[in-house]
Structure 1
């Protein structure tokens, strides 16, 4: 059976614009159901179709789960020049929602959100899928309290043994230190670091570390967690950026002071397990779901008991995901040369040091470059 035409839907309003497409709230003329229509950007094509869009569709079809956005069908424009993904409509994204909330989530609500996120991440990893761009603006929340992971534009399947991938993935504020330091062989651990950043954001209602560049992001992380060393992160001294930089020495983990009594000792223990420097020592989604934090009082609330908020997505204004947070990665120097399957994204500025001039040195906040 062929794809339906987009004319079979009534567009109600445009609700979101991201790097890889525009999302509309629409009504199915046949059933009367409200859906989300994501129009895929077609300018970066490979044999007539953008490879990021192919990857997103393929991943979503393989990753069906109650806490992952549901793809209903693919529809086309009148001239077959526009492609749309039809998805379940979900009222909120968590970033926009938290910007309007006067009070933070209760601890029990935070636990419920985190459990749902971890279930989705575990399902992805069990099916050999890396999301590679987990952040609050990519987490949707329904009026029934159901969290769904969305935006799979950077997601990809992985295998064993690991292959080299581009390190320029994950929006800067949620990017794991191994990526910031130039590692090309990575796995599920990068998603769990992002989960830790999101967990902290649920508690404080603001990003944990909002760096302006890769170096600034690393420096903010090191100030809170202490500067890593070979002792706590075997292989640290051999990381690409560590060979080119000398970072300021911050000897202690000061993260606890950011949360006070609002986060219990067990909660902080779990947060630290997400934000562990050494990727192989970082907690998995499966193990995180078993953590005692979820069993101590207050208990996770039933999703149906979540409060409801007016849905921004039902208003006529467009939500542009770029907002005040950094854009998702669009490449880096050498990005196009990584692997063909990662090569369709337009290059931008990534983590790179020019070593063509020997003897040149440079300094910045918290670091020295070594040439």
Structure 2
């Protein structure tokens, strides 16, 4: 259903450089940090998504990441963006009408996803993640709703508002990205586009990085040529709708939404307050600020399990409950399973009773093959260093065995986006926001320590 178009003095509708090139058709999503509109490019009638980002740090991150990844066929394409002083950034992205969460919803009604189809979805996700990681970009919010899908079955990573470049000088040409088992598939690269930079940019960044510095970095990263391709947009659980919705970012009552401190490379200090709870790695749940690309690999494992079972792997209602559910399956987090875990910021603050008989991943994957369980086990493990990389998984024997992945064109793509998500009662993504009250866990044991106190949960 179309939503009314707001006519505010600062809205997208009053910006002449935008309305001269695009007709705004309807608002298709709205969140705490952005509004997203479906639009039509006047020059050739191309349908696009125009994402008006109200948080300039999020906009900067998304633009920077998409510029670097513009050659990847499994990452959404940025046509151009508009950014003037004292105005929100507007990103023009390819419009993809559905996402993997809608595929999962449809499959739940229809009785599951065939193994050959699952393999093709997995390969596309892995190709997108591999492109990110080979360029040292950590997405930090991988989940089904941020994996957009076009009518042709091509899946693309979207919503890079929380993405970070870990090592800027180690970028690689994503054209070298290997895509095994796709010799006759050849995921298409859309037609070339010139990415324009509109207006003067001069914004202040809240954590020690000024708007001038922010846009200075964008100029340095002006890596999109006149022979680019098309992309798409997504954000939060609203997919080709809004990005960075309030429910997607953990609420920290003591900090701003995107805490930035000075860091080498000018990208700000890492924060554990990122991602969506059900897909957050243990290191993030324990407050780590020195994590790496491996947090995306944990999220991948959670997504793969959902493809197999059509149910979330760890559906915690709070961060504590999330950890408890992980421990129930994998056992307690200890030095033998992850050397150095005791150094995690919150490791000594929160403790759990010993899980005597963890159920194991096999219990979460009933009726799945040993190869499928093994594949997930390479991602869902405590020690980040033990998680298989996206490139390693692309070459996993699982994808070369029968049934082979179907061609992308044979994938079943839902006719429309599913809107039940976290906003409707009982939705899959309900209660994935900030922590719930501790009362639900029953009696807690508080112990005073040198640095404050610790809490033990049953």
TM-score above 0.5: yes
**What displacement does 1:296 show?**
1.6
Distance 1:354 1:90 in 2: 51
More displaced, 141-150 or 3-12? 3-12
Distance 2:447 2:157 in 1: 37
**Contact 1:18–1:322 (8 Å) recurs in 2:** no
Give the number of equivalent residue pairs: 330
Distance 1:256 1:360 in 2: 36
**What displacement does 1:308 show?**
3.5
Given candidates 3, 27, 34, the residue that maps to 2:47 is 34
Distance 1:189 1:154 in 2: 15
More displaced, 163-172 or 295-304? 163-172
Distance 1:60 1:99 in 2: 28
**What displacement does 1:260 show?**
1.8
* Residue 116 (structure 2) pairs with residue 108 (structure 1): yes
Correspondence for 1:278: 383
Correspondence for 1:87: 93
**What displacement does 1:237 show?**
2.6
**What displacement does 1:357 show?**
9.9
Correspondence for 2:319: 214
After superposition, give the CA deviation of every residue in 1:158-185 in whole Å (9 maximum; x if it has no partner).
0299976211111111000011112211
**What displacement does 1:363 show?**
4.6
Given candidates 30, 36, 49, the residue that maps to 1:23 is 36
* Residue 12 (structure 2) pairs with residue 5 (structure 1): no
Unaligned runs of 5+ in 2: 1-15, 170-262, 435-445
Residues 108 and 355 (structure 1 numbering): CA distance in 2 closer, same or farther, change over 3 Å?
Answer: farther
* Residue 308 (structure 2) pairs with residue 203 (structure 1): yes
Correspondence for 1:338: none
Distance 2:447 2:74 in 1: 43
Unaligned runs of 5+ in 1: 45-49, 331-352, 367-371
**What displacement does 1:15 show?**
2.2
Distance 2:354 2:168 in 1: 35
* Residue 263 (structure 2) pairs with residue 256 (structure 1): no
Correspondence for 2:182: none
* Residue 147 (structure 2) pairs with residue 139 (structure 1): yes
**Contact 1:171–1:327 (8 Å) recurs in 2:** no
**Contact 2:317–2:431 (8 Å) recurs in 1:** no
Distance 1:99 1:196 in 2: 19
Residues 359 and 63 (structure 1 numbering): CA distance in 2 closer, same or farther, change over 3 Å?
Answer: closer
**Contact 1:56–1:155 (8 Å) recurs in 2:** yes
Given candidates 321, 329, 332, the residue that maps to 1:224 is 329
After superposition, give the CA deviation of every residue in 1:21-53 in whole Å (9 maximum; x if it has no partner).
122221112211111111111xx5xxxxx1221
After superposition, give the CA deviation of every residue in 1:295-323 in whole Å (9 maximum; x if it has no partner).
1211111100112421238xxxx888766
Q: CA RMSD in A?
A: 3.1
